[in-house]
Amino acid sequence: MRLENKVALITGAGSGIGYQTALRFAREGASIMAVDINEEGGLQCAADIRQRGGAASYVYADVSRAADCEKMIAAAEATYGKLDILFNNAGISHADDDDAINTSESVWDMTMAVNVKGVFLGCKYGIPALQRSGGGSIINTASFVAVLGAATPQLAYTASKGAVLSMTRELAMIHARGNIRVNALCPGPLRTELLMKYLDTDEKKQRRLVHIPMGRFGEATEIADAVLFLASDESSFVTGSTFLVDGGITAAYVTPE
């Protein structure tokens, strides 16, 4: 198994990419610390893994709060003795996120607190745990909109994911000699609850689909396979990457330098 004897902490494990990645990691032998503010979803994720014979626990954490992030890392080490993989995946896309004129300051602040500060705090407390275990892999969820602008205005979300991308690059450089790899996962538009709530009309959905060469939304299970690669030793020479899993959307619109 590709993650045998590994311990993975996954934020946003109660739904979508986080949920499917937790299941995927567990099938590959990892012990899972599932983290979410959605207690029902987080508990269900851990229960599903245990029912399939895997090892999983749930801990509540609001990733925008330092005390909660410190607690979730401590819970992983206390439960499983170490931490090998940190998947900073929790994020929000607010329904009222729009352009600079129409996005409220409160929506901007909330988005930055979860999407950017949450990744910072996960790394602040998670990196020492990885150091204690001799190294490991950090995967931070960014987005294809960190590379492209979004067709439907969502300025706070796009800016937050750009920050995750640049933060990931710097962390990768800082910790490369310490056997800690840090990569940014950049999914394209996915058929997840988070995006479908935002793209709440057929018009909005079509505005996204027309830009995707594959002509469909991605699935959370497909992203989970990509995260598995970044978490496993198969990606042992990969760090600081912008790991695009986007159905070809950026290849179609990014002009080579």
Helix, strand, or coil here: 79? helix
Distance between CA atoms of residues 117 and 121, nearest Å:
6
157 catalytic residue (yes or no): yes
> 62 has which bridge partners?
none
At position 252, the amino acid (one-letter code) is: A
Q: Which of 19, 157, 198, 253 is catalytic?
A: 157
Place of tokens 């002509």: 215
Distance between CA atoms of residues 108 and 112, nearest Å:
6
- Token representation of residue 221: 């299970």
Annotated catalytic sites, by residue? 157
